């Protein structure tokens, strides 16, 4: 059993990536949004087993900032925050759709099946 406090975990996660609570613009899930104040209040009171077993924190919970967001990651019940960042598209090569279809064998319809 590895007990964690959701608020402490969240703040440590943000600090690891040189972010602060002020960098969080909003908190949301698949079909909901909550205020930062409500998240903080609930997270401070939420101690959970972050070890293996079953997930205890909402899997669709995410923190959203400017050009980044964080989702809950889980493996066999062990849970943590995972940082996602908007890619720098200026460094991506533009490839014509026909090239993609040839490279991956077929048409776009074939690729989407």
Model confidence pLDDT, tens digit, residues 19-54: 999 999 999 988 889 999 999 999 999 888 776 666
pTM to 2 decimals? 0.72
Find the Cα–Cα–Cα–Cα dihedral 84, 90, 95, 97, rounded to 10°: 60
Question: What is the domain extent for residue 22?
Answer: 3-86
- Ranking 52-56, 71-75, 81-85, 89-93 by mean pLDDT, the lowest is 52-56
What lies within 8 Å, CB to CB, of 90 at 6+ separation is none
Q: With beta carbons less than 8 A apart as the criterion, state whether 101 and 88 touch.
A: no
The domain tally of the chain equals 1
Q: Report how far residue 49's alpha carbon sits from residue 47's, in angstroms, rounded to the nearest whole number.
A: 7
Whether 12 is in a domain gets the answer yes
Give just the sign of the alpha carbon dihedral 100, 104, 109, 113. Answer: negative
Q: Is 63 exposed, middle or buried (0-12, 13-18, 19+ CB in 10 A)?
A: buried
User: Which pLDDT score is estimated for 54?
Assistant: 63
Residue 54 lies inside a defined structural domain of this protein: yes
Beta-strand pair 26-28/3-5 = unpaired
């Amino acid at each position: 059993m590895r007990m964690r406090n959701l608020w402490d975990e969240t703040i440590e996660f943000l600090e690891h990536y040189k972010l602060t609570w002020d960098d969080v613009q909003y908190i949301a899930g698949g079909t909901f949004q909550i205020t930062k104040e409500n998240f903080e209040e609930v997270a401070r009171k939420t101690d959970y087993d972050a070890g293996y077993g079953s997930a205890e924190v909402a899997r669709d919970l995410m923190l959203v900032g400017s050009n980044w967001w964080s989702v809950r990651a889980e493996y066999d019940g062990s849970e943590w925050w995972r940082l996602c960042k908007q890619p720098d598209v200026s460094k991506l090569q533009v490839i014509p759709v026909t090239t993609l279809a040839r490279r991956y064998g077929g048409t776009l319809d074939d690729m989407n099946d």
